[in-house]
Amino acid sequence: MHLVVPDPVVAQVWRGGSGRQARVAALLGLKPERCTTVPLDTEAAKRIGTVIGTSGHADVVDVHVALVAVDHRAR
């Protein structure tokens, strides 16, 4: 299985002082062929804004996750 993790999702779950952060760090430390992180760059931001404008769904992270899933043919 290959994991695709949008960076804004990392921001939502990255918390200090808990075991969860260590598990997230371990997940992100997997070899590149097992785990890819996807940045929210300017081009992605423009695509997200377009989708928000046409869909009415206002959550930036949700829309980014959906677009990353489409781009990577992920589940």
Diameter of the chain by CA atoms?
39
Query: In which domain, by residue range, is 51 found?
Result: 3-71
What's the pLDDT at 21?
80
What's the pLDDT at 73?
94
What's the pLDDT at 18?
65
Total of domains in the chain: 1
Q: Provide φ and ψ at 18, rounded to 5°.
A: -135, 160
Helix, strand or coil, per DSSP, at residue 72: coil
Residues in the chain predicted with pLDDT less than 50, given as ranges, are none
What's the pLDDT at 50?
97
Q: Report yes or no: 65 and 47 within 8 Å, Cβ to Cβ.
A: no
pTM: 0.85
Q: Report yes or no: 11 and 38 within 8 Å, Cβ to Cβ.
A: no
